[in-house]
Amino acid sequence: MFNKHIALTAAVLLVFTMCGKENGKTVREIKTKSGIEMVFIPGGEFMMGGDRAGETPVHRVGVGPFYIDKYEVTQEMYRMLDLSNPSHFKGEKKPVEQVAWMNAAIYCNERSIEEGLDPCYDENTWECNYSANGYRLPSEAEWEYAARAGSQGKYFFGDLKNMKNYAVYSQNTPGGTENAGSKKPNAWGLYDMYGNVAEWCNDFYSTVYYSRSSEFNPKGPGEGTARVIRGGSWNDPETVIYSGYRGFDESFNDTCLLRDTIGFRCVRRADK
Amino acid sequence: MKKILILLLMLPVFSAIQLPAGENSLKLSDFSSISYKIVYESYRNGSYDLHITSADASWRRQLTDTKDRHEMYPKVSPDGKLIAFTVDSGEGRERKRDLYLMNIDGSGQRLLSKNSREHCWSPDGRYIAFVKSESARRFSGESWATKGLFIYEMQTGNVREHANNKLEHLYNLCWSPDGKYITATVLGGMGFRHTDIAIEAYGTKYFQLGIVGCRPEFSPDGKKIGWGQTDRDFRIAKIDFANRPPVKQKDIVTIIQVTKGYEVYHLDWSPDGKYITFAFGPDGEQAVGGMAQGWNICILELSTGRWLNITWDGNHNKEPDWVP
């Protein structure tokens, strides 16, 4: 009876440890087969965009449920898969950077293979199979939905004066990345959604896409020359670090264009 | 019409001229006095193979002809008798890149080192420096995805690692004509973001060259160095290893600049130092094994700035290397 009571208590604690209702949504942390922490993001709707050129019109978007990495992909995570680490600022706990979009997609595929999942990317065409159960880069809509974490303002933390507590950016770093998770997370437990490294999204970049994007799970234009980056980096000023800011970069696979300000995190399909 | 703008510096006069593509008076016959041939890679019928041509394009021969593997990145020995090159086999993540050697006529192919690439010859021809692929898990075609620096000794066939075993992410090795240094581009290694370094061939130290860009190549007398600052230009400068950095900013000049949409890569000095050969074409993938439709091999006469392409088929022609 005593043991049964302890077991019941432990089970309840486990549930409370792993689940939390934040901003009206029940998020849940998991560990993947590789031991990587992800957060289950329930589907929902939000107002996407902002008031700057390229961010308009602000429009209602729905996204389905998905898992997203709790932290930006670190150099330790690269080493676990025996992949070449191109980072300028070396450190096991630091985010990987100088990653071309194509190599971020390759990481996603390798992580999928490692965990017995179906890779999302066709390595000949680099098209993403969203129905595969493996890892991929987030769509721009998924990224912004996760970054906002239910918030509706410019910043997920409210007032701008709190920026230093939530983001590694040009005003609080001596010049370079810091360990993933060194600042406070957003309401859904995601770290470094602002700053540290800007994060690749799967979408091609287009300034006019918001005016014609689909209302549910938009996946970006069918073609383009640059891919979307989100969240800003250690080298960016506060003016480009907010939930709706859209960046882009053309370093799809060109070594000469790699930047030590760009990294990524992965997402995975969730069916419930 | 293709637009190529050439800014020529007539060293050491430091004057420059501009020439639009196709409007210079150079003819292939003007290259007939050049006694050196050029080896290069070309993609046809589904695979890369190596070819050799005279400078005036009047004579050409295919050196390798394999359907199931790619022969690339030819580097001719200082005596002109041998070619070290890479062979890619397999596809996708199962691809492998190995270092091979063959005679200048394409005969006698033999494996030197598995999972090896980005090689160069020592000036006396006794050694070949190379790097190894970094990941044992899967192939990466990224030039920088390498680990270590290794030396193959021609006489014994032995391979030894360079005295500095912390070197990583090196590519485009080039041995200085005096034999003392090996230059390379490095990305995300040894604390560097992306730069060009000289490594002591027989020591452990390395230092930055003082240039921005990639793929430095020595002139045959070792007094100048050429490289690409971007996808679209070549630069040349005096280099003096008595100085740190050995290249001074005031000595850097642009010798070729092409308009957006086109690229120049893979500069190589002729053995007499009078010409450079290079690959030129529309935006493409310059890395070994990358596809570069429309690229051709060109020769630039350094004293006049006149240039001409010596291939025309655009079959991903890259990595030209002069035969001494």
Tell me: the pLDDT tens digits for B207-246?
999 999 999 999 999 999 999 999 999 999 999 999 999 9
Length of chain A in residues, anyone?
272
Q: Does pLDDT of B204 surpass 70? A: yes
The predicted pLDDT at position B29 comes to 81
Percent of chain A with pLDDT over 70: 91
The predicted pLDDT at position A250 comes to 87
Beta bridge partners of A128: A121
d(C-alpha A107, C-alpha A10), whole Å: 36
Cα B254 from chain centroid (whole Å): 18
The predicted pLDDT at position B28 comes to 82
Averaged over B187-195, what is the pLDDT? Answer: 96
pLDDT band at B31, cuts 50/70/90?
A: confident
The predicted pLDDT at position B282 comes to 95
Q: Does pLDDT of B14 surpass 60? A: no
Are the Cβ atoms of B144 and A86 closer than 8 angstroms? Answer: yes
The predicted pLDDT at position B304 comes to 86
Query: Can you tell me whether residue A112 is helix, strand or coil?
Result: helix
The predicted pLDDT at position B23 comes to 47
Q: Sort out which chain A residues have CB atoms less than 8 A from B192's CB and list them.
A: 88
Please give, rounded to a whole number of angstroms, the shortest distance from the CA of A255 to a CA of chain B.
Answer: 8
- For strand B16-20 and strand B4-9, is the pairing parallel, antiparallel, or unpaired? antiparallel
d(C-alpha B102, C-alpha B109), whole Å: 4
Which tokens hold the place of A243?
């939930």
Query: Can you tell me whether residue B50 is helix, strand or coil?
Result: strand
Which tokens hold the place of A201?
């999204």
The predicted pLDDT at position B279 comes to 97
Which tokens hold the place of B46?
């589904």
The predicted pLDDT at position B4 comes to 55
Please give, rounded to a whole number of angstroms, the shortest distance from the CA of B135 to a CA of chain A.
Answer: 6
Q: Which residues of A216-240 are buried (b: 16+ CB within 10 A; e: fewer)?
A: ebbbbeeebebbbbbbbbbbbebeb
- The amino acid occupying position A25 is K
Which tokens hold the place of B23?
């409007």
- For strand A59-63 and strand A198-204, is the pairing parallel, antiparallel, or unpaired? unpaired
Q: Does pLDDT of B8 surpass 50? A: no
Averaged over A74-82, what is the pLDDT? Answer: 96
Tell me: the pLDDT tens digits for A29-73?
999 999 999 999 999 999 999 999 999 999 999 999 999 999 999
- For chain A, give the mean pLDDT: 91
d(C-alpha A87, C-alpha B186), whole Å: 12
Q: Does pLDDT of A16 surpass 50? A: no
* pTM of the entire predicted model: 0.90
pLDDT band at A27, cuts 50/70/90?
A: confident
Are the Cβ atoms of A88 and B188 closer than 8 angstroms? Answer: yes
CA-CA-CA-CA torsion sign (A155, A158, A161, A165): negative
Averaged over B50-72, what is the pLDDT? Answer: 96
Query: Can you tell me whether residue A3 is helix, strand or coil?
Result: helix
- For chain B, give the mean pLDDT: 92
Please answer whether residues A258 and A98 qualify as being in contact, where contact means their C-beta atoms are separated by less than 8 angstroms.
Answer: yes
Q: Does pLDDT of A115 surpass 60? A: yes
pLDDT band at B13, cuts 50/70/90?
A: very low
Q: Sort out which chain A residues have CB atoms less than 8 A from B194's CB and list them.
A: 88, 98, 255-256, 258
Q: How far is CA B274 from CA B34, B221, B232, B288, in A?
A: 10, 11, 22, 26
Are the Cβ atoms of B137 and A258 closer than 8 angstroms? Answer: no
Which DSSP string corresponds to B120-176? EE-TTSSEEEEEEES-SSS----TT-EEEEEEEETTT--EEE-S-TT-BSEEEEEE-
d(C-alpha B129, C-alpha B149), whole Å: 7
d(C-alpha B130, C-alpha B124), whole Å: 16
- For strand A44-48 and strand A37-41, is the pairing parallel, antiparallel, or unpaired? unpaired
Query: Can you tell me whether residue A111 is helix, strand or coil?
Result: helix
Please indicate whether residue B33 or residue A8 has the higher confidence score (pLDDT): B33
Are the Cβ atoms of A85 and B137 closer than 8 angstroms? Answer: no
Which DSSP string corresponds to B286-302? -STT---TT-EEEEEET
How many CB pairs lie under 8 A apart between chains A and B? 59
pLDDT band at A14, cuts 50/70/90?
A: very low
Tell me: the pLDDT tens digits for A236-268?
999 999 999 999 998 877 777 789 999 999 999
Q: Provide the total of helices (H) and of strands (E) in chain A, helices listed first.
A: 5, 12
d(C-alpha B228, C-alpha B318), whole Å: 15
Q: What is the dihedral of CA B255, B306, B315, B138, to 10 degrees?
A: -20
A10-14, A218-222, B294-298: the lowest-pLDDT one = A10-14
The predicted pLDDT at position A23 comes to 63
Please indicate whether residue B290 or residue A17 has the higher confidence score (pLDDT): B290
Tell me: the pLDDT tens digits for A216-237?
999 999 999 999 999 999 999 9
Best B142, B233, B286, B288 residue to mutate vs chain A (most A CBs within 10 Å): B142
Please give, rounded to a whole number of angstroms, the shortest distance from the CA of B142 to a CA of chain A.
Answer: 8
Percent of chain B with pLDDT over 70: 92
The predicted pLDDT at position B69 comes to 96
- Hey, how many other C-beta atoms are within 10 angstroms of the C-beta on B35? 12
B69-73, B115-119, B140-144: the lowest-pLDDT one = B140-144
Q: Does pLDDT of A110 surpass 80? A: yes
The predicted pLDDT at position A230 comes to 98
